[in-house]
Amino acid sequence: MSTETITYDDVDDPLLEMRDVTAGYGNTTVIHDVNVTVGDGEIACLIGPNGSGKSTLMKSIYGFADVFEGRVRLGGEDVTGRSPQDNLRAGMSYVLQDASVFPGMSVHENMLMGGYVFDDDSRARKRAEELYDEFPRLGDLREQRAGSLSGGQRRLLELARALMVEPDVMMLDEPSIGLEPRYIDQVFERIQQLNDLGTTILLVEQNAEKGLSVADRGFVLASGEIKFTGSGTELLNDEEVGRLYLGG
Amino acid sequence: MAFAQFVVNGLLVGALFAAVAVGFALIWGVVDIINLAHGEMVMLGGYASYWTITLVNGSPTASPGLALASVPVAVAVLFVVGYALQRFVVSHVIGTDLFLTLLVTFGLSILIQQLGLQAFSADPRTISVQFAEQSLDIAGLVVPKVKLIAFVGAVALTIALFAFMKRTRTGRAIRAVSQNDEAAALVGIDVEHVRAVTFGLSSAIAGGAGAFVAMILNIQPQMGLIYTLKSFVIVVFGGIGSVPGALVGGLLLGTVEELTAGFVSSKWTLAVSFTLLIVLLVVKPQGLFGEGMGGEAE
Ligand SMILES: Nc1ncnc2c1ncn2[C@@H]1O[C@H](COP(=O)(O)OP(=O)(O)O)[C@@H](O)[C@H]1O
Ligand SMILES: [Mg+2]
């Protein structure tokens, strides 16, 4: 790639950057010329209608979708097309929109799988214990088969498992989907807590108002293109965004 | 007494069928492929052992020690064969439709048979294992020592595979891929590599069993089909994706076949096995232990 001289936006300390990314699967292009910048320590929220390519955008960062053009950078380093192993080792983790537990394994075995990229098992075991202290409800379930968890418990496991690698950056794809309202608030509290501890978060959220209200920065994706960018409050108060995407 | 003798014979050889079927079930459960070339892995394992012994001894006659030493050779060779088959051929049709995967593995089966005929000729061969006394007499039942070794060997291979799946990091990765391959990739597992290792392990256990088959029966380049069919019966019978089911199914199939051969005719063994399978599928479609066709392998 040629050297970049253009600065795209006003982020002081960019951690995660997508530059003119066109991506999809095989010969299907889903997102076009996407530019997204998330600053170190921020919460960024991506909203947009179903099928607009939000999940694909995250997958293109993580190496789950094919990046046809453009670059993805993390901490200034070009990480385009990098494997999930390398992303995890470099401190990036991802919670998928779809159920991603191993149903036949216990909660504890699932947690250990979250530390699969560690070379030694004892590190994974130690980290799992730390997380049980942090999430006592999960610790109580450690021997339970993941396939028999409720939706809320499963989400908690997925979130905790993604914390096994002590990520600096987390991508969360619709963490509140399908949850009862009381769990939704807990999930957002957790996200806020993690962020307070310094974790940078990229969030996709169906509940756009909820998502934008915790976000430092928001992006609106429609038909695979970024239509609006701004701070969370700017987007929440934007008339057009409100009319088109917030149902207001 | 004849009945007891047939049952003993059946259990002895049934352990081999079980080991072969466990390998077949492993690929079915993890990679979601019905490998119609699985029987050819048994055949190749038999030849790997046969030629190892022939190279060392100048003839296919072996002491028990040498015969046993040829088994790890067959296991290792077939691991490599299985790994390569998955990586270079089967991986390209995974996730397409069932018909295509059947066609590809069927094609592989035919190709490997033909290559076997070219390389080894159609002559049946056997490894002759030499003991001072060929058989034990246990409470009036004849137990050929070589069959006893094959039985113990087959059980050992099956247990080793279990232990590998339970205790090793790769075993955990295999279980993860079988339960949710997207989640496996998410936590950093190289799914393609794990599938190939699974194929390798499956072929390795079939190859190890093939080495024992060469010691107690004949081997021949076209012997594979019968082992694929037996595996199919056992795995469907025991419940798809259930390894304990495959073990029990194998012992049962061996016993049924020996009883049929003893009391009716050896021509009827396969027909009787399939009839029992059809009856079971009508009565209990999910198999003895399984969750049924397309059930989650765990
Ligand atoms: N694995 C895939 N292969 C091909 N197309 C896909 C795949 N996953 C998603 N798509 C397509 O990409 C488009 C965007 O999907 P997605 O990124 O899941 O949107 P969102 O998360 O915004 O709902 C949809 O049209 C969908 O059908
Ligand atoms: Mg989505």
Q: Mind listing the pLDDT tens digit for each residue in A6-30?
A: 344 567 789 999 999 999 999 999 9
Best probe residue, ligand 1, of A46, A50, A56 (max atoms within 8 Å of C-beta): A56
| Residue A215 confidence (pLDDT) above 90 | yes
Strand-pairing partners, residue A221, are A226
B176 token code pair? 């993860």
Measure B256 CA to nearest chain A CA, in Å: 33
Minimum-distance CB partner of A104 among B179, B184, B189: B179
A30 pocket-lining for ligand 1 (C-beta < 6 Å): yes
B44 token code pair? 């190749």
Contact in structure between A125 and A112 (CB atoms under 8 Å): yes
In chain A, residues with a C-beta closer than 8 Å to the C-beta of B169 are 116, 121
State residue B195's pLDDT score: 96
- Report which ligand 1 atom has the smallest distance to the Cα of A57: 17
In chain B, residues with a C-beta closer than 8 Å to the C-beta of A161 are 187
- Report which ligand 1 atom has the smallest distance to the Cα of A49: 22
Under DSSP, the state recorded for A118 is: S
B126 token code pair? 């056997």
Q: Which parts of chain B have pLDDT scores under 50?
A: 292-298
Q: Residues B243-268: pLDDT tens digits?
A: 788 888 999 999 999 999 999 998 99
Put simply, the chain B residues between 150 and 169 with a CB less than 8 A from any chain A CB are: 169
Q: Which ligand is nearest to the CA of A46?
A: 1
State residue A243's pLDDT score: 81
Query: A248 pLDDT band (50/70/90 cuts)?
Result: low
Is the CB of A84 less than 8 angstroms away from the CB of B172? no
Residue nearest atom 27 of ligand 1, based on CA coordinates? A51
A162 pocket-lining for ligand 1 (C-beta < 6 Å): no
Minimum-distance CB partner of A113 among B176, B182, B298: B176
Chain mean pLDDT for chain A: 91
Put simply, the chain B residues between 177 and 236 with a CB less than 8 A from any chain A CB are: 179-180, 182-190
Quote the pTM value: 0.89
Minimum-distance CB partner of A116 among B180, B189, B296: B189
| Residue A126 confidence (pLDDT) above 80 | yes
Question: Touching check for A98 and chain B: CB below 8 Å?
Answer: yes
Minimum-distance CB partner of A103 among B179, B184, B189: B179
User: Which one, of A186, A185, A210, A188, lies nearest residue A201 by Cα?
Assistant: A188
A77-78/A66-74 β-pairing:
antiparallel
- Report which ligand 1 atom has the smallest distance to the Cα of A224: 14
**Chain A: residue nearest B190 by CA?**
A85
Is the CB of B176 less than 8 angstroms away from the CB of A103? no
Return the percentage of chain A with pLDDT > 70, whole number. 95
User: Which one, of B186, B191, B184, B180, lies nearest residue A84 by Cα?
Assistant: B186
* Rounded Cα distance, B233 and B238, in Å: 8
A56 pocket-lining for ligand 1 (C-beta < 6 Å): yes
Q: How many angstroms does the Cα of residue A49 sit away from the middle of ligand 2? A: 9
Is the CB of B186 less than 8 angstroms away from the CB of A117? no
- The identity of residue B184, as a single letter, is A
State residue A10's pLDDT score: 66
A51 pocket-lining for ligand 1 (C-beta < 6 Å): yes
Q: Which ligand is nearest to the CA of A66?
A: 1
Q: What ipTM score was computed for the predicted complex, to two decimals?
A: 0.91
End-to-end distance of chain B based on CA atoms, in angstroms? 40
State residue A121's pLDDT score: 85
Return the percentage of chain A with pLDDT > 90, whole number. 75
Q: Which residue has the higher pLDDT, B135 or A202?
A: A202
What is the secondary structure of B182-211 as a DSSP string?
HHHHHTT--HHHHHHHHHHHHHHHHHHHHH
- Listed by start position, the domains of chain B span 13-224
- Report which ligand 1 atom has the smallest distance to the Cα of A221: 22
Put simply, the chain B residues between 4 and 33 with a CB less than 8 A from any chain A CB are: none
Q: Residues B143-198: pLDDT tens digits?
A: 999 999 999 999 999 999 989 998 999 999 999 999 999 999 999 999 999 999 99
Question: Touching check for B95 and chain A: CB below 8 Å?
Answer: no
Q: How many angstroms does the Cα of residue A47 sit away from the middle of ligand 2? A: 10
End-to-end distance of chain A based on CA atoms, in angstroms? 43
| Residue A3 confidence (pLDDT) above 80 | no
* Rounded Cα distance, A75 and A15, in Å: 5
Question: Touching check for B172 and chain A: CB below 8 Å?
Answer: yes
State residue B250's pLDDT score: 93
Domains, in order of start, for chain A: 16-100+168-245 (3.40.50.300)
In chain B, residues with a C-beta closer than 8 Å to the C-beta of A101 are 180, 183
B34: alpha, beta or left? (left if phi > 0; alpha if psi -120 to 50): beta
* Rounded Cα distance, B13 and B31, in Å: 28
B170 token code pair? 């790769």
Mean pLDDT lowest among A1-5, A50-54, B88-92, B195-199: A1-5
Mean pLDDT of A57-79: 95
